[in-house]
Amino acid sequence: MQNYRRDFPIFTHTHYINSCAYGALSHQVEASYGAYLSCRNARGADWMGWVERHERVRERFAQLVGAKTDEMAVTTSASAALSSLISSFDFSGKRNRVVTTDQAFPTEAQNWHAQTARGGDVVHAREQDDGQLDLEHLAELVDERTLLVAVPLVCYRHGALNDIAAICKIAHDAGALMLVDGYQGLGAVPFDVRDLDVDFAIGGALKYLLGSAGIGFLYVREVLIESLYPLQTGWFAQADIHAMKIHANEPAPNARRFEQGTPSVPALYAAEAGLDYVLNVGVASIRAHVMALNAALKKGVVALGGSLASPVKDTHHGPMVAIRSTDDHQLVAALEAEHIITSCRDGNLRVSAHFYNNMDDIEVVLAALEKNRTLLA
């Protein structure tokens, strides 16, 4: 793969391999912030230009997941996207069950459990010892009472990659809807809502999409939009955001109805620059490159006597490799002392490569792990 590291200043002094927490900052994204500040200095406010940028970001999110532009809402976070969607659901009828998983990111699970106050019945599909979801258990939980099945594309704790197509079939065969939290994979794992038959998807720009906090998205299958009336709303959700009506709520006929108030304008600049970069590199190429790096990392960890929390098979996990540790926070600190930036969750060291990483990064990580073998479980 082409050497993109020159666009990421952090690599002049650090081995950054922590994209599962936050993507590295590129010159292009940094320049986008400068463009925002220049606009503020020159014009003060440029609402028409910012709305146009908002639409360009919507188009790029749609391109990323294979959706129509009208199926995408641009939100201030994945949490805001999910909350708006959930506000349109009715939990008072026969279908009041939500099947989430033990892999859920806290935002997702917390949002579902909050719906018990509205009559929601929330259950968790368990994961197996190898980190993969137990699809037999999930299928047992999905029945005629199920409104929706919600799963992550990639588990944030250990990187397991879920079989979304198979889970969608389980949900749809029971008449339930399907939502995917794509945050830990989008930009590094190919994902197409049409091919996978997904009803809803959420995500954000700050990890493998190279943007910043303050922006997320919601995909809603086109045929479902008009039947959903979100109770969380705002002026950007209206059919005409320029009408400034105050005597009625007139939601947009497309997925914009799931948006709310004023967007994070600086985050729009960063998201557009980051998405442009990732789409130009190509997600399929990124996936192939990262899989090769991860294969070398996993082989090296095993050779050191370490063990993996991630599934061993390359195609069964996303861009992150999770390594079991006796003290994950101490191990992160030890690597940072060697100018290696990683992160940890749930007792595991998380090493998450992206297209800007190379085999030198992997070798440096392995050398640091060898020096700290006592911290490997």
Residue 25 has pLDDT above 80, yes or no: yes
Give the separation between CA 150 and CA 108, rounded to whole angstroms.
8
Choosing from 245, 278, 311, the residue where a domain stops is 278
Give the separation between CA 23 and CA 154, rounded to whole angstroms.
16
pLDDT score for 238: 97
**Neighbouring residues of 62: CB distance < 8 A, sequence distance ≥ 6:** 68, 69, 71, 72, 219
Q: What is the pLDDT of residues 182-225, one digit of tens each?
A: 999 999 999 999 999 999 999 999 999 999 999 999 999 999 99
pLDDT score for 81: 98
- Looking at the structure of the chain, the number of domains it has is 2
**Neighbouring residues of 85: CB distance < 8 A, sequence distance ≥ 6:** 179, 200, 202, 218, 220, 228, 230, 258
Choosing from 241, 256, 278, the residue where a domain stops is 278
Q: What integer is the mean pLDDT of 7-21? A: 98
Q: What is the CATH number of the domain that holds 294?
A: 3.90.1150.10
Do 21 and 36 lie in one domain? The reply is no
pLDDT score for 113: 98
Range of the domain at 268: 29-278
| Among 186, 220, 190, 221, residue whose Cα is nearest residue 203 | 186
How confident is residue 28, by pLDDT bands cut at 50, 70 and 90? very high
How confident is residue 3, by pLDDT bands cut at 50, 70 and 90? confident
Choosing from 232, 254, 278, the residue where a domain stops is 278
Q: What is the pLDDT of residues 171-186, one digit of tens each?
A: 999 999 999 999 999 9
Do 302 and 268 lie in one domain? The reply is no
Residue 273 has pLDDT above 90, yes or no: yes
Average pLDDT over the chain, rounded to an integer: 97
Give the separation between CA 171 and CA 177, rounded to whole angstroms.
6
Q: What is the pLDDT of residues 322-343, one digit of tens each?
A: 999 999 999 999 999 999 999 9
Do 164 and 292 lie in one domain? The reply is no
In the chain, % of residues over pLDDT 90: 98
Residue 229 has pLDDT above 80, yes or no: yes
Q: What integer is the mean pLDDT of 165-169? A: 98
Do 72 and 176 lie in one domain? The reply is yes
Residue 269 has pLDDT above 80, yes or no: yes
Instruction: Tell the residue number behind the tokens 């949002």, with chain if given.
Output: 111
Give the separation between CA 298 and CA 204, rounded to whole angstroms.
28
pLDDT score for 13: 98
Do 172 and 243 lie in one domain? The reply is yes
How confident is residue 1, by pLDDT bands cut at 50, 70 and 90? confident
